Amino acid sequence: MTRETIYGFIAAEKTAYPVRLLCRVLQVSTSAFYDWIRRGGPAISDGDLDDAHAANQLRDAWVEHRRTYGARRLTAEIRP
């Protein structure tokens, strides 16, 4: 796992968990994480945003159906 991936995960989860805790668990320094943020943070493309949106839709559908639907049914559920 690359540092960019780890820092991106911390940035995504920092609203749910303290940054210090995430850094300690993932074995990176908090100062390095904040330095990464200061230098510009994640470079997110439109494709990455589309993938994240689709993943959120799939998870919402999975939870809505009591976490019993599999991949085939979930993708059929999401397609227009």
Residue 75 CA to residue 59 CA, distance in Å, equals 11
- What pLDDT, on a 0 to 100 scale, did the predictor assign at position 29? 93
Residue 56 CA to residue 16 CA, distance in Å, equals 16
- What pLDDT, on a 0 to 100 scale, did the predictor assign at position 27? 94
Q: Any idea where the domains of the chain sit in the sequence?
A: 3-38, 46-78
Read off the pLDDT of residues 32-74 as tens digits, 9 standing for 90 and up: 999 998 888 766 666 776 777 778 888 888 888 888 888 777 7
Total length of the chain? 80
Residue 30 CA to residue 7 CA, distance in Å, equals 10
Read off the pLDDT of residues 2-32 as tens digits, 9 standing for 90 and up: 888 899 899 999 999 999 999 999 999 999 9
